Amino acid sequence: MFQQSLEDLGTPLRDVTFCVIDLETTGGKRNADEITEIGAIKYRGGEVLGTFQTLVDPGRSIPPEITVLTGITSAMVDRAPRVEQVLPTLLEFLGDAVIVGHNVGFDLAFLNSALARSGRNAWAGTKVDTLAIARRLIRDEAPNHKLSTLAKYLRFPNQPSHRALDDAKATGDLLHYLLERASALGVLGLDDLTQLPKIQRHPQAKKLRLTESLPRKPGVYRFLNERGEVLYVGKATNLRARVRSYFSSDRRRKVEQLLRETQKIEHDICSGTLEAEVLEVRQIQKFRPRFNRRSKNWSKYTYVKLTLGERFPRLSVVREQKDDEAFYLGPVSSHSTARDIVDAIEAVVPLRRCTQRVPKTATSGPCVSAQIGTSVCPCSGKVTEESYSEIVDYALSALSKHPERLLHPLREKMTALASQQRFEEASELRERAAALSNALQKANQVRVLRSAGRIVLEVPDEGTTTLLQGQLVENIADPNGLESCHISNNPLKTTDKKEIDELWCVATWLNARAPELRLLHCDAPLFSQYPSLDDFRQTKSRLTRPGR
């Protein structure tokens, strides 16, 4: 059984210092009305640490209706200190405690307004609103959620009277009652408590207990149904906070269905974010969870193939790469993406587009694409093998070493279409060019990682990380270790479909964390031939009609 450390538990509620505060005022407008009384009580572990109470001279007469409500008269505050004189003592009393109030936003608004007028910064610590938590935990158990109603209904020893200290005592009673109720939902730490109001009346709230054993560490989590089938795999920098967020901020229909079916939540702790991301990919591929979308359909990825093993090579979209003489780009996530890439290349390079075998002698006239000048047509006999090989060499060079030979002409064509107000065509070309640019960038990143061999990195706060041909091989929470990797004898060979998601994951992580990483070792130079390419997200010309 995994025993959580104090760090895993975060800040236990029994160790949190709460300061319950209540203010009485001349009215409800923070910028126009003034504070007339302040009451505060500090608690830790259910024990009172101290109290603070003072009347405050608002510098004006107190309206009769406020006197009727609170019993505070102008005569009572006539010799009381002004709020500017009270603030230093109050702030010292508050210290670094968590402020608690019933509709705490009202009290903080007046407090921050007074702080601002005295030239001080606004209070920016943690706050807890008992009104919001009561609405979450005892929504249907009382006629309303006013402090007076709850105190009477729950028979608190302290009843509010619209005097600051009395109301603070009643709010303290309510706080401790709500903490006891919240513990049934697995609310054990301060972060759980502050998140609780966000967990609206969720139909699966009782399943929050499934998150009690989750640590506040990086890792991978799995939702399982009653048959033990993995429904969903995810990663997190804070396992507990991420999983509990499914019961609060995430209101997607798919998530609600996932929670209905979930009967168990498992997790693996990871040493850092990269290990969590890699383990997530591996487990998605292993379990193929029904609620995951990314990575589980890797078997449907496709390649763009340039058929170099025939007299007049052409481009095609294929499901698998073979051990032949062809050039493969990819894999890419879908057939439609691969088709966009082919269309983008053919928009620049006039490769043949017909699929039949080219006869040794001319048998027909030029095809339609040849007639409009977008390709050559070997079947018509108007192009020789030698001249066609120059076209193929240009395409191969552009795809493997010089992407600008494709991307620059695509940018120019797109700009020309936009200037001719052919916006739909320009937009279509942009989508195809972006698909090509993305595929070339990823292919380059993967090629660099694999050709670098063994890479050892020092990651701040996480220790060392070792990659072998771009795959994580040390400190992975995977019992198979190296056996889960697909180490190739030829790292320059096009990547296999099952590997690509993990390699993309590592490449993205390296790009994001590069400034803070320290390279300790690599077998071969770790550099990119083209570190950045035109991604076609930002255009130099408008690609939509004005006004759209």
Contacts for 254-258: CB closer than 8 Å, 24+ residues apart: 254/291, 256/203, 256/204, 257/291, 258/223, 258/231, 258/232, 258/291
At residue 80, the pLDDT reads 94
The answer for residues whose C-beta is within 8 angstroms of residue 525's C-beta and 6 or more apart is: 452
CATH of domain 199-298: 3.40.1440.10
pLDDT tens-place string over residues 83-115: 999 999 999 999 999 999 999 999 999 999 999
At residue 379, the pLDDT reads 63
| pLDDT of 338 higher than 90 | yes
| C-alpha distances out from residue 519 to 392, 449, 463, 502, 529, Å | 39, 13, 12, 20, 19
Stretch 496-517: mean pLDDT: 88
Compare 478 and 30 and report the one with higher pLDDT.
30
Residues noted as catalytic:
162
**44, two tokens:** 């830790």
| C-alpha distances out from residue 373 to 347, 367, 411, Å | 10, 10, 19
Phi, psi (5° rounding) for residue 315?
-95, 145
Positions of CATH 3.40.1440.10 in the chain:
199-298
At residue 225, the pLDDT reads 93
**31, two tokens:** 């910028």
User: What does pLDDT average to over the chain?
Assistant: 84
Rounded Cα gap, residues 535 and 112, in angstroms? 47
pLDDT tens-place string over residues 45-71: 989 999 999 999 999 999 999 999 999
Rounded Cα gap, residues 284 and 374, in angstroms? 43
pLDDT band at residue 381 under the 50/70/90 scheme: low
Beta strands in 166-313 (DSSP E): 219-224, 230-236, 264-269, 302-306
Least confident of 332-346, 348-362, 531-545: 531-545
Compare 521 and 540 and report the one with higher pLDDT.
521
Positions of CATH 3.30.420.10 in the chain:
13-191
Could you tell me if residue 527 is left (phi over 0), alpha (psi between -120 and 50 degrees) or otherwise beta? beta
- Among 3.40.190.10, 3.30.420.10, 2.40.270.10, 3.40.50.300, name the CATH number for the domain at 13-191: 3.30.420.10
Stretch 441-448: mean pLDDT: 88
At residue 375, the pLDDT reads 62
